[in-house]
A = this chain, B = another copy of it.
Amino acid sequence: MTVANVWAIGIDLGGTKIEVARVDAEGNLRQRLRRPTDAKRGAAAVKAEVVKAVKSLQQSVDSPPAGVGVGVAGQVDRQQGMVRFAPNLGWHDEPLKDYLGRALGLPVVVTNDVRAATLGEWLYGAGQGCDDLICLFVGTGIGGGVVAGGRILSGCSNSAGELGHITVDLRGPSCHCGNRGCLEALAGGWAIARHAQEAISADPSAGASLSKLAGDKGEAVTAKIVGQAAQIGDPLALRIMEEAVQALVAGAASLVNAFNPCRLILGGGVIEGLPQLVDRIARGVRQRALTVSREPLEILPARLGNNAGVIGAATLAIHSFMGKRD
């Protein structure tokens, strides 16, 4: 088989959707299927849906894939290919690798979804050619991945890179994780929405135009709506976004000082919705980080968007089963 024929299946398995893609050995996404994740029907139904999507993709190609890579929104034991805990799927100790391997007759590698997206951005996106970088994904939650000295950090129990859970305000608001003042609790999509909902509930007149965008239902305000309201100059939305930006600047400066990356790559839904945030954060980090850490640093937007996960997962499979680095 020549390299031109090499391809793999990449799967991005989250709480709301399953993406399954055919990706070649140059990181090009050739074909993709997207399905809603029907987590309520249980793990068996979700896994069966994944198998169906993979088989459907396989039909369109003559050559067999090098293997299957899966990025799961949860904590993964990569050696065993076991999903230890995936809160949005409701999974505990799910032996995903064994199941898919048997059902598909293909080699399977399972990793965390953010780790997979970091691999994608590193090798085929904004991180190309760089051996020391951080990917910070700001969506509903905040996660990240760190490449140091040409390797993705995995840590003692494969959970390095929980960058949304660094404390930036030690007396700050409570976080879903049980701690308080986490970066995610100030700047994640859920936190931006919560902040707006609380402000509207405390003073409905302050959030008039925000509420209007949400159909006059305060509880329907999302981070996306806050971002839209900020762009048309709504004062409450502007204040909430400014606080999120200050938290992102503090968090990014912390990461830059601790890891000394050459590049800080910003992605995720909040950044994609408000791309001007990249420059705002970059200006703030230049003011707050140590000179020695900020001098070599580039701060730039992620390039692969939603596709980073499937591209990274498929690439991990190609590297794992074709003898290349991961």
Residues of A within 8 A of B (CB): 75, 84-85, 132, 146, 148-149, 151, 153-163, 165-171, 177-179, 181, 246-247, 250-251, 253-255, 257-262, 288-290, 292-293, 295-297
Contacts and interface: CB of A to CB of B under 8 A. Distances in A.
Contacts of A179: 253, 288-290
Given A151-B149, A156-B297, A162 B257 contact: yes
Indicate how many identical chains form the complex. Answer: 2
A255 B156 CA distance: 13
Contacts of A290: 159, 162, 165, 177, 179
Contacts of A149: 151, 153-154
Contact of A160 (B155, B159, B178, B259): B259
A247 B297 contact: no
A261 B156 contact: yes
A149 to B, nearest CB: 6
Q: Is the interface of A mostly helix, strand, loop or mixed?
A: loop
A238 to B, nearest CB: 18
Contact of A171 (B169, B257, B258, B288): B169
A249 to B, nearest CB: 8
Contacts of A167: 168, 250-251, 253-254, 288
A156 B171 contact: no
A111 to B, nearest CB: 14
A181 B296 CA distance: 23
Per CB-CB distance, the 4 closest pairs between chain A and chain B, nearest first, are A155-B260, A156-B262, A166-B254, A160-B260
Contacts of A253: 165, 167, 179
A61 to B, nearest CB: 36
A296 B156 contact: yes
